[in-house]
Amino acid sequence: MRRKSWAQFFALCVSIFVAGWDSGTVGPLLPRLQEVYHASVGYAVVSLIFIVNCIGFFVGASSFLYLTDRFGFGRVTSFFAAVGYAIQAAGVPFPAFVVSFLFSGFGIAFLDAGSNSYLAGLSEDTSFKMGVMHAIFGVGAMCAPLVSTQFAKLDTWHYVYLVHLGLIAFNALTQALVFRFRTAEECLREVGQEPHAKTKASEEGVGKYRQVFRLRAVHLMAFFIFTYVGVEVAIGGDWWIVTYIINERGGGGSSGYISSGFWGGLTLGRVLLIWVNDKVGEWRVIFLYVALAFGLELVVWLVPHLISAAVCVSFVGFFLGPIFPIVMNHSGRVLPPELISGGIGYISSFGSAGAAAFPFVTGAIASGTNIGSLQPLLIAMMALMFAIWVFVPRTREQLR
C-alpha cells in the first residue's frame, strides 16, 4: 500500500508539472506572436488567447465533478489537452491558434483540480506532500520559459508545442498505469483508505453540486485563488511581465529568463517555507506572505532599475509560492469530508481560470494605455487578496 501511495503521488506530481509547464510557456512567446501575426495582433487582440483559455478553464471547472465521477482520472484531461497542443504545434493562422486554447484550458483545469482534490482528500497530513507537489508545478513553470525563449528565436517557434504533446502523452500513460481511469473512491481504497461517508444528496451529481455551491467558504476561497493565480501568472510568471521588462525597463531579448527566476523563487518558497507555515499557522501566515509580496511589487513598480526588478520578481515568487498549497490544505480541513473532492476541485480549477482572465484584463488595459499599467493593477489585486482572506473561516466549526 505504501508503494502504491507513492506511485499515486508521483502521478499527481507529473500532472502538476505539465500544468506548470503550460503556464510558463506563452509569456516569452508573446513578442514573437506579435511579430509573426503582424500589427493586427496588438495587446488587446493577443489577449484573446487568455479569454478563450479562461472559458476553457471555466468549462473544465464546471464539469470536473461530473466527468471525473463518470470517466475516472486522466481520460478527459489527456484528450482535450492533446487536441489543443496539436493545433498549436501546427503553426495555424491566429484565429485557429486562439481557439486551440479552449481545448488546452479545459484539459489543464482537470489536471489542477484532479491533483489537488485527490491529495487533499487523503486522511494523512498532506502539508508536506502538497508543498512538494506544488513545488513541482514551479519546476515545470520555471523550465518552460527556458525552452520557449529558445523556440521564440526560430522560424518554427510553434514546434515548442510538440514538447507539450510529449508531456501530455507521458501524463496519460502515467495516469493509465497508476489510476487506470478509476474513480477517486476506488483509488483511495487501493491505498487502504476508506472514502468518507456520503450523504444521500452528495451521492447524486446534482446534489453534490448543490451542496458545494451552498458553502460560502467555497466561493470565498475560489475567488481568493482566482485572484491569487491571476497575480501569480501576471506578475513574474510569464504572460505580461516579459513585455513589461522589455518596454519599461530596457530589457533585451533574454528577458524571458526573468519569468524563470520568478518560478524558481516560487519553487523554493513552497519547500523552504513549510516550517514557517507550521510555526506561524497556515491561516495567519498568508497575511504575512501577501504583505511581503505587496512591498516587493512596489519596488518593481517605483524603482526604474532592471536588476532590482529582476531580483524582486524572484522574491515575489518566493513569498507567493506557499499560498496555493496552503489554501488547498486549509480547504481540506475546513470543508465537510464528503465534499472535499468536489469543493477543492472547484476551487483549484476556478483558480486556473484566473490564470487566463487577469492576463486578458491586463492586455485590454495596456491596449488603451501602455504596459506600465500592469504594476498598479497587480498592487490592487494583492490588496484584494488580503481583504478576501479576512473572511475565510479558520476552522470547520466556523463554516456556516
Mean local confidence (pLDDT), 4-28: 86
Is 13 a residue whose pLDDT tops 80? Answer: yes
Q: How would DSSP label each residue in 29-95?
A: HHHHHHHHTGGG--HHHHTHHHHHHHHHHHHHHHHHHHHHHHH-SSHHHHHHHHHHHHHHHTT--HH
Point out the least confidently predicted range of 8-17, 69-78, 87-96, 304-313.
69-78
- Tell the burial category of 398 from Cβ atoms under 10 Å away from its Cβ (0-12, 13-18, 19+): exposed
Q: What's CA 316's distance to the chain center, in Å?
A: 16
Is 1 a residue whose pLDDT tops 90? Answer: no
pLDDT of 79: 81
Highest average pLDDT, of 161-165, 191-195, 394-398, comes from 161-165
Point out the least confidently predicted range of 60-69, 240-249, 327-336.
240-249
Point out the least confidently predicted range of 38-42, 146-150, 179-183.
38-42
Instruction: With cut-offs at 50, 70 and 90, classify the pLDDT of residue 73.
Output: low
Mean local confidence (pLDDT), 154-167: 90
pLDDT of 17: 93
Residue that has been written with the C-alpha cell 516560487 in this structure: 266
Mean local confidence (pLDDT), 187-195: 74
Is 319 a residue whose pLDDT tops 90? Answer: yes
pLDDT of 120: 77
Higher pLDDT, residue 275 or 72: 275
Point out the least confidently predicted range of 77-81, 151-155, 156-160, 283-287.
77-81
Q: Supply the pTM of this predicted model.
A: 0.79
Q: Yes or no: say if 175 and 110 are a contact pair by the CB < 8 Å rule.
A: no
HSE toward the beta carbon, residue 87, CA cutoff 13 A:
17
Burial 272-288 (b: 16+ CB within 10 A, else e): ebbeebeeeebbebbee
pLDDT of 201: 44
pLDDT in tens, 359-387: 667 666 666 666 666 778 888 889 999 99
pLDDT in tens, 229-259: 888 877 754 455 666 666 666 666 556 667 7
Mean local confidence (pLDDT), 82-109: 89
Distance between CA atoms of residues 226 and 351, nearest Å: 4
Is 296 a residue whose pLDDT tops 80? Answer: yes
pLDDT of 239: 54
pLDDT of 382: 92
Cell numbers found for residue 363: 492586455
User: What's the longest Cα–Cα distance across the chain?
Assistant: 61
Sequence length of the chain is 400
Mean local confidence (pLDDT), 312-331: 89
Highest average pLDDT, of 94-98, 186-190, 211-215, 396-400, comes from 94-98
Instruction: With cut-offs at 50, 70 and 90, classify the pLDDT of residue 65.
Output: confident
Distance between CA atoms of residues 151 and 245, nearest Å: 19
Distance between CA atoms of residues 352 and 105, nearest Å: 8
Query: Average per-residue pLDDT in the chain?
Result: 80
Higher pLDDT, residue 299 or 365: 299
Q: Percentage of the chain with pLDDT > 70?
A: 79
Mean local confidence (pLDDT), 356-360: 68
Distance between CA atoms of residues 126 and 377, nearest Å: 34
> Which residues are CB-neighbours of 282 under 8 A, at least 6 positions away?
127, 326, 329, 330
